[in-house]
Amino acid sequence: MRLVLVGPPGAGKGTQAEFIAAHLVVPKISTGDIFRANVAQGTPLGIEAKRFMDAGQLVPDEVTINMVRERLAEPDAADGFLLDGFPRTTPQAVALDKLLADLGDGLDLVLELVVDDDEVIRRLSGRRTCHGCGKIWHVEFDPPLHDGVCDRCGGALFQRDDDKPETIAERLRVYARDTAPLVDYYGAQGKLVGIDATGPVEDVTVRAIDALRSYGG
């Protein structure tokens, strides 16, 4: 199957992408991984992307799409893939459709992880990161034995700027403006399936796999 996974920050896309891709025995492909690989290997696209990243600018769609095109043309993606983090906007989705048509393929399904803003803020604002080893704890879901102290290494815990409520609220506004329209775009194609992303990780995975089975996955 050829899938796209969408959902707001804090919906659990990265975790679910790993489980779903393993279930389908297809590669999980994220733009973050593609960027890092191209930059590390010093490819022409990687050099071009790094130029924008070093300047604190967004990598242009054309560069991103060309990286995705090269990745999807690799042998391990011939029988399917799961895209996580791409497309992020409707123009990127249109470009992806054209890219896949050029490759003689098309998307089978788009899974939307559905979770409300209050739950996203609860999940992300409760995260605490260890200064010492980098382990992430959660004040509610995975608290350390001693408040503010990492069980693993004894390091002090802190709240990253990305996990502060005001930053999360801005990330959600950007998602609503730029990425949420993908729901309408793929819904109009009849390819969108919503998955309730609340509750334990395992329950969400079961719902996603059940939905895939309904569509032959």
How many other β-carbons are positioned within 10 Å of the β-carbon of residue 75?
6
Q: pLDDT in tens for each of the 217 residues of the chain?
A: 999 999 999 999 989 999 999 999 999 999 889 989 999 999 999 999 999 888 888 889 999 999 999 999 999 999 999 999 899 999 999 999 999 999 888 999 999 999 999 999 999 999 999 999 999 999 999 999 999 999 999 999 999 999 999 999 999 999 999 999 999 999 999 999 999 999 999 999 999 999 998 886 6
Residues forming the active site: 13, 88, 127, 160, 171
- For the chain, the C-alpha Rg in angstroms (whole number) is 18
Q: What is the pLDDT of residue 47?
A: 93
Q: What is the pLDDT of residue 215?
A: 80
In CATH, which superfamily holds the domain spanning 2-26+79-214? P-loop containing nucleotide triphosphate hydrolases (3.40.50.300)
Q: What is the pLDDT of residue 55?
A: 86
- The interaxial angle of helices 44-54 and 61-72, nearest 10 deg, is 140
Say which residue the tokens 């029988």 belong to. 79
Q: What is the pLDDT of residue 83?
A: 97
Residue 15 region, left (φ>0) first, then alpha (ψ -120 to 50), else beta?
alpha
Parallel/antiparallel/unpaired status of strands 2-6 and 109-114: parallel
What is residue 194's three-state secondary structure?
strand
45 close to 204: Cβ distance less than 8 angstroms: no
Q: What is the pLDDT of residue 85?
A: 85
149 bridge partner residues: 146, 156
Say which residue the tokens 């967004």 belong to. 58
The 10 Å CB-count burial string (b at 16+, else e) for 32-62 is eebbeebbeeeeebbebbeeeeeeeeebeee
Q: What is the pLDDT of residue 29?
A: 95
Q: What is the pLDDT of residue 57?
A: 82
